[in-house]
Each structure stands twice: as C-alpha cells, then as structure tokens.
C-alpha cells in the first residue's frame, strides 16, 4: 500500500464546508465506537466523527472482534443524536451499507455486494463491516446512535481464520484508495441521516444482496438450520424459506446467515 496517511485537514478539506462535523483523527485507539459512546455519555451533542489508523479492540456484531491493523484500513464512527422516528433506527445499518457500497464501487470501479445485514463483499470476500449501537432513553426515544464502519482498504496479510473470508479493496481490485477521500465521500453519503432524513435505499439494498435466492444456513443461539433467502422485507428483515415451505423472518439481533 502506498503512502495513505490519514489526515484531519485533508478529510475536512474534502467535506462540504457547510457541514460542521466535529472530527477527531487518532493514531491508535481501542475502538472508535467506544470513543464515540464515551463522548455521547459526556454530553457531546454535535455530530462527531472519530477516525483511527488502528484499533486495538475493534468490535463487530455478536461480540466478535474486528481486525484493525495500522496503515491499511478505515475505521470510522459517527456519533449523532437521531431525529428520525425510533422505529427507523434498525434501518440505519442497511442504509449505511448501501451508502458505503455505492461509494466504494464508484471509487474502485468494482461491484460491491451486501451480505445481510451489515457486511459488504467484493468478489465474495468481506471488505467492510458495520456496527450500529444505540442508547434509548426512558421515553423510548433514542438518546444517541453510534454508527461504526470498518473498511479493509489495503491489507494484504490475514490470520489463517480470515484468509478465505476477508479481503481488502487493494488486494481484490488493485486500486489503492485514499483513506481520506473514502472517509469524506462516506460522510457525505451518510449526511442526510444526520439531518433526520432516511432516503429511499431498500430497492438498492435488495439489488445488491448476495443472499437473495441463494441457499443459506442460519445460525441462531446454539443451533442452525438451512433454507433459501427469499426476500428482504420493508423493515429490513430477511425472509428465509425452509425446505417444507415454512418461512422464518429474521431481524438482525443475534442471527448470523451464511451462504451454503
């Protein structure tokens, strides 16, 4: 990977000057989501973007870790106080998946698919994961949301357990994307969310799905079962049809789905 240093001034220079994000760029941090949450609990109310070159405890869904080596990935979290309806909070992850897929595809020239609910894939390998965390107040209104996005930009070495599953944009299409440009384009694509708007994204989410019409295995708790992913509902739930024809409606929660 060529010189691809993260720079607060470069990211800021690429953003719409009318957008007043608070922006922090860290060399090393445990998790950008942790930092964003800590700021929220301290009462920060501005839209705040945390970017790091490396995470020592990057987190993924279902208590998993997210490998975050230095110099080669984009680890970014946005803290915001949502003004969208509470029932739309679950749609933030799929909306962000579409936004990130469109940005990466435009900058890299390679097709990007979405593996329900929060993974982006290029050539069948995971290049990006999204972890949205929210805290709700007594009224049921969300106090804050932390939207965390990790993109494998230039990694070329993987631990054995990830070799088959994960890849980086540079590895998969030979293009070395500027992490600063990627961060700025991503933030620009996500901006409507910070202003209380959730633009239409479901048709694009469905069109990019790598699971629809495919045989899948669903892992839930200690068990698993096979079926075919047949639809994505308007609320983002995945419909899996079992061999006998019965249907299971899956909400993100503690469910993991893999292609068979």
Residues that bind ligand BTN (CB under 6 A): 31-33, 55, 58-61, 64, 66, 75-77, 118, 129-131, 148-150
Q: Which is nearer to ligand BTN, 220 or 230 (CB)?
A: 220
Q: Closest approach of Cβ 18 to ligand BTN, in Å? A: 26
Q: Which is nearer to ligand BTN, 42 or 213 (CB)?
A: 42
- Containing 204, the helix (H) or strand (E) segment is helix 202-207
Q: Which is nearer to ligand BTN, 118 or 121 (CB)?
A: 118
Q: Closest approach of Cβ 25 to ligand BTN, in Å? A: 13
**Ordered DSSP codes for 35-93:** HHHHHHHTT--S-EEEEEEEESS-B-GGG-B----TTSEEEEEEEE---S-GGGGGGHH
* Local structure of residue 166 (DSSP, 8 states): B
180 Cβ contact list (under 8 Å, min separation 6): 6, 7, 10, 11, 14
Q: Which is nearer to ligand BTN, 72 or 139 (CB)?
A: 72
Q: Closest approach of Cβ 3 to ligand BTN, in Å? A: 22
CA distance 53 to 72: 8
Residue nearest to ligand BTN (CB): 129
Q: Closest approach of Cβ 61 to ligand BTN, in Å? A: 4
């Amino acid at each position: 990977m060529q010189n691809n240093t993260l720079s607060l001034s470069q990211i800021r220079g690429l953003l719409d000057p009318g957008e007043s994000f608070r922006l922090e760029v860290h060399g090393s941090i445990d998790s950008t989501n942790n930092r964003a949450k800590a700021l929220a609990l301290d009462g920060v109310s501005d839209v705040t973007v945390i970017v790091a070159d490396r995470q020592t405890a990057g987190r993924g869904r279902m208590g998993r870790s997210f490998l975050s080596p230095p110099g080669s990935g984009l680890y970014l979290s946005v803290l915001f106080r949502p003004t969208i309806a509470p029932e739309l909070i679950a749609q933030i992850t799929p909306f962000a998946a579409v936004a990130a897929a469109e940005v990466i595809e435009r900058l890299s020239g390679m097709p990007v698919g979405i593996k329900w609910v929060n993974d982006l894939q290029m050539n069948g390998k995971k290049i990006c994961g999204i972890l949205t965390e929210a805290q709700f107040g007594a009224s049921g209104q969300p106090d804050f949301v932390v939207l965390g996005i990790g993109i494998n930009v230039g990694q070329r070495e993987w631990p054995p357990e990830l070799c088959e599953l994960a890849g980086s944009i540079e590895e998969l299409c030979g293009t070395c994307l500027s992490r600063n440009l990627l961060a700025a384009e991503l933030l620009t694509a996500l901006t409507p969310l910070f202003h209380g708007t959730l633009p239409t994204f479901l048709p694009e989410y469905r069109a990019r799905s790598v699971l629809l019409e495919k045989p899948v295995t669903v892992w839930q708790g200690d068990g698993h079962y096979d079926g075919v992913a047949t639809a994505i509902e308007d609320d983002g739930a995945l419909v899996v049809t079992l061999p006998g024809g019965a249907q299971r409606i899956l909400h993100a929660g503690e469910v993991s789905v893999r292609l068979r």
